Amino acid sequence: MKDDTERQLVIGGMHCAACAARVERAINAVPGVSGQVSFALETARITLSPGAAGIEAVIQAIERAGYSAKLAAEDAARQARADRARDMTALARLFWLSAFFTAPLVAQMLIGGHELIPRALQWLLATPVQFIAGARFYRGAWHAIKGGGANMDVLIALGTTMAWGLSTAVWLTGQHTQHVYFEASAAIITLVLMGKWLEARAKSRTTDAIEALAALAPATALVERDGKMIEVPLAEITRGMVFFVPAGSSVPVDGEVLSGASSIDESMLTGESLPRPKGPGDKVFAGTLNAQGLLKCRATGVGQGTLLAGILRMVESAQASRAPVQRLADRVSAVFVPVVCVIALATFAVGGAFTGDWQHALINAVAVLVIACPCALGLATPTAIIVGTGRGAQNGILIKNAESLELARNIQVLAIDKTGTLTEGRPSLTDIIPLQDITDAEALTIAASLEQGSTHPLASAMLDAAQHRALALRPLDALTTRPGEGLIGEVGGQAYTLGAPQPEALPAGLLEPLYAQGKTLMVLSSSAAPLALFACKDTLREGAPAAIARLKSAGIKVVMLTGDNPATAAAIAREAGIDEFRAGLLPEDKSRAIAAMKQPGAVVAMAGDGINDAPALAAADVSFALGTGSDAALGAADITLAQPDLARVADAIALSRATFTKIRQNLFFAFFYNVLGIPLAMFGWLNPVVAGAAMALSSVSVVSNSLMLRRWQPGGYQRR
């Protein structure tokens, strides 16, 4: 609902996917509040309905569940970097402290004996590891149990305490024939800490792309005061203020060029490598780089109102969202820890009863507890989505949510609007054919007068032609617009219509040659008869045929939808390499065409400008808005492309397929790891220390696999 309020919280104390699930349940238990928690990002996106409890109640609910929460600052990315750096430093200190005390115990084991170090000294070495370095696991386990659940901390605390407690009891009772396992408890904690440290370092790299975008905007802006140019903090710039952008500097806020000429490198926002020329009247965007001359600009968007800030919000929202494929992992994570505890208990009871060696059975149970870590399962999907959406943003592909990203990989049919999507959207008037006793200038004057105020590309063509001929437009007394049909209005007290030609009212053979050239035709008529025929020609976008061929080679059926005449549509489709088109469609007809394509169960996408094609975009399973500027970047389409280039649609689909290839690999690794590891531990074929090492590295391997997406480049393709 539009009246709902959204907030973002930074969550502390989550150590696995079960923690994230518990925080999410606590949030959603607050009346009028819904939330979604990202374990990978350590954030929660909160929606407060009208009349709901305040955000303070949500924070209290999270704290009662055993975790910390605070509102994300406006510079959330910078805050997140600082928090991660602090956490990594703390983890590193704990790891090295633990490693210092654990090293002699592990060295003793590797040399080949358990008794090279006196048991009393082993106890002295293992105890600080267990209760100082391992204190975080006890705290996490206590909070989880107090909150009515269990998480990874419960498994680690329970397993290592059993190993340490058994060893202590054996030492204190003087049972010299029994083994002690101080090295196992200490090594497990050390290895888990190492794994969490490496995981934190790897996770920090998953957000490199979005953090690089966040760092684009400079901290200051150059303004003129008392005849001097001075730097002021960015917070002092308000809409309407005049600022300057010297050569080699980044644009501080969104603005409009007042004077000067230069070229701007917008690759960080659009993925387009070639700089764009800028002059008076052109738009500039925060974070882009001025390559040449000095520009004088007026601020049009500041703070959270800039294009860059909007892109960051969109990407952060997508990264925090949950893909449908993650639901299975969430369901497994919700019951994973309790099930593992039951398996460990059964391993101890059954193993001890059958063999009579209760000490060995207990160690097998410890191995089960240690090997079973839900972290890899919880990280499999979100880390790939974070890297994929961040890489997309770097290349001008802005993805609204993870569900759209997942759907895009399965697109079977892509419907494409013609004007402004397949073509440049800037048609020019090529022919004026009088049909009555009227001059070209008179006919164009009336037609352009009817088109005053219209933003349709054909209206722009008529108005540009009138301006080029220096024709004076006449006052428009009344105007009615009929979408897909044309205009009815009064100019100088006379009623006129301007719209699609009716062949039966025109000379035979007049229209066909013009349609065959791919031209769009309009007829100016009075109440008596047609007065003049206008022909406009739009240019196919450069690279459109190559993009269509690329989509078709990937097994995607491309269909052009247009309101233009079938003959004109056929000419454009032939030029673009499109085999199927539907012409003469009104906006509502396009949405019905999309619905018809979906009937056999196909995943249907629509690519358009996001405005005139709104009904069709809404009807599609996945919608692509092509364009430039803030309207495109902040539009409501599922995937917004910063460049009006069909190749970007192919890139977005390729990115979706690459991302979900990584997700499938990650889920396979995570499930396979536990399916293989738990039985090995149950039957005593897995040493607890080896189990600890495997568990520690499992999450690191999943995150590292996701990080390989950073090498993805636009232009390639990957089949389903």
Q: What is the pLDDT of residue 76?
A: 55
Residue 300's φ and ψ, nearest 5 degrees, are: -115, -15
Query: How many whole angstroms from its chain centre is CA 313?
Result: 10
How far apart are alpha carbons 398 and 636 in whole angstroms? 11
Task: Report strand pairing: 639-641 vs 622-626.
Answer: parallel
Which residue from 689, 681, 697 is spatially nearest to 108, judged by alpha carbons? 689
Q: What is the pLDDT of residue 630?
A: 39
- CB contact set of 452 (below 8 Å; sequence gap of 6+): 463, 473, 476
Query: How many whole angstroms from its chain centre is CA 421?
Result: 23
Q: How far is CA 420 from CA 318, 621, 644, 716, in A?
A: 27, 21, 8, 25
How far apart are alpha carbons 686 and 369 in whole angstroms? 12
Count the residues in the chain: 720
Secondary structure class of 287 (helix, strand, coil) = coil
| CB 105 within 8 Å of CB 689 | no
- Catalytic positions: 417
What is the set of domains in the chain, with CATH numbers?
A: 5-72 (3.30.70.100), 85-208+315-386+661-711 (no CATH), 218-305 (2.70.150.10), 396-423+540-657 (3.40.50.1000), 428-537 (3.40.1110.10)
> Residues 279-312: pLDDT tens digits?
999 999 988 889 888 899 999 988 878 888 877 7
How far apart are alpha carbons 113 and 115 in whole angstroms? 6
Q: What is the pLDDT of residue 635?
A: 56
Secondary structure class of 41 (helix, strand, coil) = coil
- CB contact set of 142 (below 8 Å; sequence gap of 6+): 66
How far apart are alpha carbons 333 and 18 in whole angstroms? 6
Q: What is the pLDDT of residue 121?
A: 93
The structure tokens listed for 22 are 């518990």
How far apart are alpha carbons 389 and 402 in whole angstroms? 9
- CB contact set of 277 (below 8 Å; sequence gap of 6+): 261, 262, 263
Q: What is the pLDDT of residue 448?
A: 93
Low-confidence ranges of the chain (pLDDT < 50): 1-3, 628-630, 632-634, 717-720
Q: What is the pLDDT of residue 471?
A: 92
How far apart are alpha carbons 139 and 473 in whole angstroms? 78
| CB 343 within 8 Å of CB 350 | no
Amino acid present at 232: V
Q: How far is CA 623 from CA 51, 405, 601, in A?
A: 34, 11, 17
Secondary structure class of 636 (helix, strand, coil) = coil
Secondary structure class of 606 (helix, strand, coil) = strand
pTM for the full predicted model: 0.74
